[in-house]
Amino acid sequence: MLTYSFSDRGHESLYEYLYQCIRRDIIHGTLSPGDRLPSKRSFAKHLNVSTITIENAYAQLLAEGYIDSVPKKGYYVADISWDMQKTESPAEAGSPPAQNNGFAHASPGTAKEECFADFSSSQTHPDTFPFSIWAKLLREVIADSRAALMENPPSGGILPLRQAISGYLRQFRGMDVAPEQIIVGAGTEYLYGLLIQLLGHGKIYGVEDPGYQKVFWIIQGSQAACRHIPLDGHGIRIDCLEQSGAEIVHISPSHHFPTGIIMPISRRCHLLGWAAKDDSRYIIEDDYDSEFRFMGRPIPSLQSIDSLGKVIYMNTFAKTLASTVRISYMVLPMHLIQRFYREMGYYACTVSNFEQYTLTRFLQGGHFERHINRMRNLYHSQRDLLLGCLRDSPLASRISITEEDAGLHFLMEVDTDAPNAAIMERAKAQGLRLAPLSQYYRQGCPAKEHTFLMNYSSIHPERMQEAISRLCRVFEGLPLAEGGSK
Amino acid sequence: MLTYSFSDRGHESLYEYLYQCIRRDIIHGTLSPGDRLPSKRSFAKHLNVSTITIENAYAQLLAEGYIDSVPKKGYYVADISWDMQKTESPAEAGSPPAQNNGFAHASPGTAKEECFADFSSSQTHPDTFPFSIWAKLLREVIADSRAALMENPPSGGILPLRQAISGYLRQFRGMDVAPEQIIVGAGTEYLYGLLIQLLGHGKIYGVEDPGYQKVFWIIQGSQAACRHIPLDGHGIRIDCLEQSGAEIVHISPSHHFPTGIIMPISRRCHLLGWAAKDDSRYIIEDDYDSEFRFMGRPIPSLQSIDSLGKVIYMNTFAKTLASTVRISYMVLPMHLIQRFYREMGYYACTVSNFEQYTLTRFLQGGHFERHINRMRNLYHSQRDLLLGCLRDSPLASRISITEEDAGLHFLMEVDTDAPNAAIMERAKAQGLRLAPLSQYYRQGCPAKEHTFLMNYSSIHPERMQEAISRLCRVFEGLPLAEGGSK
């Protein structure tokens, strides 16, 4: 049986150390595709650890696609080879999260209409922003850095902020990124615009279907061609990507929006293989909410396993800090960053120096890390509160919940025959906003007609019970689906 | 003789009131093109005011193109008819100012090289930023507006800021603009990007030659066609604009960069007439430094005389507040703003709420007005200091200065035969940065080979004397132009 010594474990938890040992053996080929892993109980006894430790390690490997689970048989090492010819079998989506970016489709100058609870928005709740510490750091910056505040930064942003982001990525995402590779900008939308200019308007871009619609709009708005690429249960389908003629593909592999699929390592490798086939091919990795995974370790980024300079990594502080503080960043491969400064160095950085320096201190002082931990706990308990309210409600028998382990939303499928439009209308009358999963599909939602994204980040805990009571009234009297209830 | 009663003058100064009376009569046709205005002295006696009052009123009318001055003959009402067929006679440029936006063509992550005095940059001097009041307002905003700070604003920015900008434009630029027409964004470059998407990538854009090069780069970078349109002494040439096939033209009529030409009213009318000829035609008016006119009233904006919804007005707080606080705005005609929200409402505003709310208070509390006045005085004395240093230097006999009445730079023509490249090299060796006027021309600089933009906004007064001593050393020993010295 597999044997690992825990003597070199250091500060890591048992499960995490074990996960890394097995992962390393799979990557190095010591464990081959198809190899069966020991059963949890026997492996636990063998290594003299608890079953929970084994369970957690397996769950992490499973989530990242290093192993497969065959019901009633056990766990098997997955095929993570770089073979790109492997056929992808379309399957049901695996697991889901959310990125609304909470923008308002406002008519000129008007405020949003009154709404009791907005399950469609992932806008940050005002109470969660670290106002005191932010104000304190701002004061310090204004007191200490007057000259620096007035100096025009390079296009990519002030160097100390890029250094702090580089350090953060190294520590929390295991990414080895030079500060010079980072470009800071006022929102990912703005960065997409820069990127399209850099990569070329004449290129064909591919986006996930379902996916984050705004990316499609921005690419189309920039007059570049954009294709929708369908997913299977492992993420974007490489065969469809090949057929589409797309040269650049935008994905969120660590936590797909809105389905929550975590792209397994095999698909990631296929995707890198796809990119390697042509110089003009690139992958844009949107890692928008990797910080909010409730179970296990964060999923490693695609960028961190890319040795060919094919991945452009994007992330934002809009989710982790506040959507109204407009700071996002992207990491470009070295050859692209050089081209950026050569061809587009005339663009001024769009983020105010005041906020760049404040965020730098926020990162340097460990405040960001503490804030993320607080937020993760908060969202975790928000999720539990919402799940609890649903479980105790009359709806409980009509709904099934999936993808509740990460991000700021889960998926709720409701057993009903009523059309989504009618449900949305009834929700509106109750002061609720709902986002049906189907609205994120371009080419028709394969199933899950009555599945809704349930964002919980913006809903005040005191309103949760009442919000769910109203939700029950939305579905009250609506017919069940033919074929009966759950 | 012309007679005006001063009984309805209210709070306006005598010259300003007089200017407005004459201007009104010219616009309404009471005074016809070619009419001779009374001589200053006789007019002053007739109205029982001082000659200075008449002089100031005439100077303002002259600057705005309502009257012409014929040496030794007097002042005549100019032809401001909307006739677009009138031939434009190419002439020497009239008057010059500056817009560098102080961006750094930085190589990845490196800081700018050491420089003793940078006459090429209009970067804000750190000492001039109102740190105390800005910090105080930021504190107040954080204390009072937590919920508002976390609420995603409409794409155009928070309503209170747009209201404050609308009020400012009404009071100081005589513009009647609804807050709904205003879009706030992180820098004019970003706003150009939005605008090109709104107006169409397929359109042909025209920019001034010479002009603000970055606009050309941005338009080209967006894959839209861009043509350079030459100027004459009154600004952009309408005949060349017609020939170019451009549908959208970018100009800075109140203070052209870098020549400083103020577009006279006749040319403005021609330009509006040009735009009126086709639905797809628009004028982008860049009003980037209208606040820094040292003599007379500010020049009215083109937007304020546009009754057909053809002018898109742009301005920025980068010049007036700090280039590192990224807040600019544009004013769209009603039909365009409606299209913007319909087609592009998915774009989130790129300016942080913290800075939007702080700037709102800064405008509302009258701080901006006071700051502008302080800055205008400061730049005025900076200009006088620089002019004084030059006058007292050995260079005095070799230079001629033009366009010193507005903006943050003037033009300095040096009598020399040396090529500009050699001069720049020598300047660099002295720790100086110079920007030759010729570098802003695309199609060859018609004359003025040795003319330099002299930005004085970023140079510390204590360094000015030494900077000029170094400048003298740059030209020391360089040959004079053939044909002798001045």
Q: CB-based contact (8 Å) between B355 and chain A? A: yes
Q: CB-based contact (8 Å) between A104 and chain B? A: yes
Q: Record the pTM.
A: 0.79
Percent over 70 (pLDDT), chain A: 90
Place A168 in a pLDDT band, splitting at 50, 70 and 90.
very high
Q: Mean pLDDT of all residues in chain B?
A: 86
ipTM of the complex: 0.77
Place A445 in a pLDDT band, splitting at 50, 70 and 90.
low
pLDDT at A254 over 70: yes
**Residues of chain B contacting residue A103, judged by C-beta atoms under 8 Å apart:** 152, 155, 345-348
CATH architecture of the domain A129-365 equals 3-Layer(aba) Sandwich (3.40)
* Buried b / exposed e along B255-289 (16+ C-beta atoms within 10 A): bbbbbbbbbbbbbbbbbbbbbeeeeebbbbbbbbb
Cα–Cα dist B267/A26, whole Å: 74
Look up residue A303 and give its DSSP letter: G
Q: What phi and psi values does residue B428 have, to the nearest 5 degrees?
A: -60, -40
Q: How far is CA B280 from the centre of its chain?
A: 25
pLDDT at A311 over 90: yes
Parse chain A into domains and list their residue ranges.
Answer: 14-81, 117-126+370-475, 129-365
Superfamily name with CATH number, domain A117-126+370-475: Aspartate Aminotransferase, domain 1 (3.90.1150.10)
Q: Mean pLDDT of all residues in chain A?
A: 86
Nearest chain A residue (CA) to B150: A126
* Both structure tokens of A24: 């390393």
Give DSSP secondary structure letters for A318-340.
Answer: TTTT-TTS--EEEE--HHHHHHH
> What is the model's pLDDT at position A124?
66
**Residues of chain B contacting residue A324, judged by C-beta atoms under 8 Å apart:** 149-153, 352-354
Place B166 in a pLDDT band, splitting at 50, 70 and 90.
very high
The answer as to CATH 1.10.10.10 being correct for domain B14-81 is: yes
The answer to whether the CB atoms of A150 and B197 lie below 8 A apart is no
Give DSSP secondary structure letters for B97-120.
Answer: ----TT-----TTPPPPP-SEETT
Q: Which of A109, A134, A337 sits opposite B162 (nearest CB)?
A: A109
CB contact residues (below 8 A), chain B span 270-289, against chain A? none
The CA distance from B481 to the nearest CA of chain A, in Å, is 35
Q: Which of A150, A162, A179 sits opposite B322 (nearest CB)?
A: A150
Q: CB-based contact (8 Å) between B120 and chain A? A: no
In this complex, how many residue pairs, one in chain A and one in chain B, have their CB atoms less than 8 Å apart?
A: 218
Cα–Cα dist B372/B294, whole Å: 12
Q: Please, what is the end-to-end C-alpha distance for chain B in angstroms?
A: 43
Task: Quote the strand ranges of B127-213, DSSP E.
Answer: 182-185, 204-209
The answer to whether the CB atoms of A180 and B108 lie below 8 A apart is yes
Nearest chain A residue (CA) to B357: A324
Q: Are B22 and B15 in contact (CB under 8 A)?
A: no
**Residues of chain A contacting residue B156, judged by C-beta atoms under 8 Å apart:** 106, 108-109
Query: Could you tell me which residue, B107 or A122, shows the higher pLDDT?
Result: A122
> What is the model's pLDDT at position B482?
66
Contacts 24+ apart (CB under 8 A), B16-19: B16/B57, B16/B60, B16/B297, B18/B47, B18/B49, B18/B53, B18/B54, B18/B57, B19/B56, B19/B57, B19/B60, B19/B61, B19/B297
Query: Could you tell me which residue, B479 or B414, shows the higher pLDDT?
Result: B414
The answer to whether the CB atoms of A326 and B351 lie below 8 A apart is yes
Place B448 in a pLDDT band, splitting at 50, 70 and 90.
low
- Which pLDDT tens digit goes with each residue over A79-116? 765 422 222 222 222 222 222 322 233 333 333 447 89
Q: At B63, is the secondary structure helix, strand, or coil?
A: helix
Place B60 in a pLDDT band, splitting at 50, 70 and 90.
confident
Q: In what order do the strands lie in the sheet with A328-331?
A: A182-185, A328-331, A311-316, A282-286, A248-251, A204-209, A225-232, A235-236
Q: CB-based contact (8 Å) between B118 and chain A? A: no
pLDDT at A459 over 50: yes
> What is the model's pLDDT at position A334?
95
The CA distance from A243 to the nearest CA of chain B, in Å, is 26
The CA distance from A100 to the nearest CA of chain B, in Å, is 11
Q: Which of A106, A125, A179 sits opposite B345 (nearest CB)?
A: A106
Q: Are A478 and A423 in contact (CB under 8 A)?
A: yes
